[in-house]
């Protein structure tokens, strides 16, 4: 595993570069396009227990809309996502974007809503993490692969935001 730094902290974890990084990016673009085309009916689940949504954030540098497909957990009125990036040494770009601008959009099926992101901590994080690994057990191996704490992010619905 590589040691990769972010914000003066070096973390152990997987590194994605070259053809693998390109392949993952192409998969994400294809997944997003199919999700939108079918309203989530075709690729709305990664596995039978792991539903997916589309998260659209505003790039913290580019200020452009960026959309990624992610596994989610329904938790009452909120949805919960995980910044695992497959156990990479660095956080996913969408997490950095949400930290800079916590208002985003999620699309579940054919419905889009505005949300505010908040990182879960302590007992709440543990409660959510245990449910997340039930729906997608690979999250456990992703956490073992990296020394960073994988963010668990709660998305609460908010009124439509003007940009």
Q: Mind listing the domains of the chain with CATH numbers?
A: 10-157 (2.30.110.10)
pTM: 0.81
* Contact assessment for residue 53 and residue 107, using Cβ atoms and an 8 Å cutoff: yes
Provide the 3-class DSSP secondary structure of residue 122.
helix
- Contacts for 157 with CB less than 8 Å, ≥ 6 apart: 77, 78, 113, 114, 115
Show pLDDT as tens, one digit a residue, over the chain (163 residues): 233 334 446 766 655 556 556 666 777 778 778 888 888 877 666 667 789 999 999 999 999 999 999 999 999 999 999 998 777 778 899 999 999 999 999 999 989 999 999 999 999 999 999 999 999 999 999 899 888 999 999 999 998 766 5
């Amino acid at each position: 595993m590589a040691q990769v730094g972010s914000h003066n902290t070096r973390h152990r974890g997987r590194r994605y570069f070259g053809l693998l990084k390109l392949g993952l990016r192409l998969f994400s673009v294809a997944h997003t396009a199919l999700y939108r085309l079918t309203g989530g009916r075709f690729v709305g689940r990664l596995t039978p227990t792991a539903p997916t949504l589309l998260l659209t954030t505003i790039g913290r540098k580019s200020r452009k809309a960026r959309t990624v497909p992610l596994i989610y957990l329904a938790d009452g009125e909120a949805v919960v996502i995980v910044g695992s990036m497959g156990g990479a040494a660095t956080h996913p770009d969408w997490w950095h974007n949400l930290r800079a601008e916590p208002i985003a959009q999620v699309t579940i099926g054919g419905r889009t809503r505005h949300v505010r992101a908040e990182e879960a901590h302590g007992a709440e994080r543990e409660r959510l993490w245990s449910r997340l690994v039930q729906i997608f057990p690979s999250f456990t191996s992703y956490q073992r692969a990296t020394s960073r704490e994988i963010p668990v992010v709660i998305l609460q619905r908010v009124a439509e935001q003007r940009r």
